[in-house]
Amino acid sequence: MSEDKNIVLPGDKLCVIEEFMPNEGSYESVDGNVRASVIGRVQFNASSKIVKVQGFKKLSMPLSGSLVIGVVTATKEDLAFVDILLDNDGKVFPGRFTGVIHVSQAHAKFIKNIEEAVKPNDVIRAKVLTSTTPYQLTLKAPNLGVIMAFCSVCGNALVKKDADTLVCPICGNVEKRKIAINYIKQR
């Protein structure tokens, strides 16, 4: 089972068949266990002796104009490639969606290289500009940009120092990014 005892993943053991019968989002496996068939919250009904998993609502795809959360997977001089994972409310997208940030959309001020704004493994909040793949993304608004970054030297989570500066509390490395106003680790 996952860390949250109420949230289960496909294949997680919920109980044995003698305790509860499977219902929506669950099934009986060949070993006599009842297992989850979807990602969701497990619900046991003691009076009817059934267990079900209420699946999380999945979004079909990122929409133009919506805010998304993603991870920067690679950078080139003027481009960053992003795996889009969630919408801004934390709803998971089914499948894999790729976004691209052009250097002209990475910051409101002029920058020469995309790594002045984002680096691989940064977690970002971005706005979707197009409705076709690869999705064009922007970081220009104050609420957009890096929301979590990791030290290029030691890999530790970076702490926000000021509007565009992050510091590693372990090794002291200082790095610049296009930081969202609600960066996760504040000083």
**How far apart are alpha carbons 87 and 50 in whole angstroms?**
32
- 93 and 164 housed in the same domain: yes
Residue closest to 125 by CA, chosen among 176, 59, 184, 79: 184
Q: Which two tokens stand for residue 129?
A: 């500009």
**How far apart are alpha carbons 38 and 42 in whole angstroms?**
10
Decide: helix, strand or coil at residue 94.
strand
- 42 and 75 housed in the same domain: no
| Backbone φ, ψ for residue 104 (5° rounding) | -70, -15
Cα–Cα distances in Å, from 80 out to 71, 110, 139, 156?
10, 16, 11, 21
- 80 and 170 housed in the same domain: yes
Question: What pLDDT is recorded for position 89?
Answer: 79
pLDDT tens, residue order, the chain (187 aa): 333 457 787 788 999 999 999 999 899 988 999 998 887 889 999 999 999 998 766 557 899 999 999 999 999 989 999 999 988 877 888 778 999 999 999 999 999 999 999 999 999 999 999 988 899 999 999 999 999 999 999 999 999 999 899 999 999 999 999 999 999 877 6
Question: What pLDDT is recorded for position 187?
Answer: 66
- 113 and 74 housed in the same domain: yes
Question: What pLDDT is recorded for position 1?
Answer: 36
Q: Which domain holds residue 128?
A: 67-176
- 18 and 51 housed in the same domain: yes
**How far apart are alpha carbons 125 and 140 in whole angstroms?**
11
- 27 and 93 housed in the same domain: no
- 44 and 81 housed in the same domain: no
C-alpha angle 57/137/81, rounded to 5°?
95
- 15 and 92 housed in the same domain: no
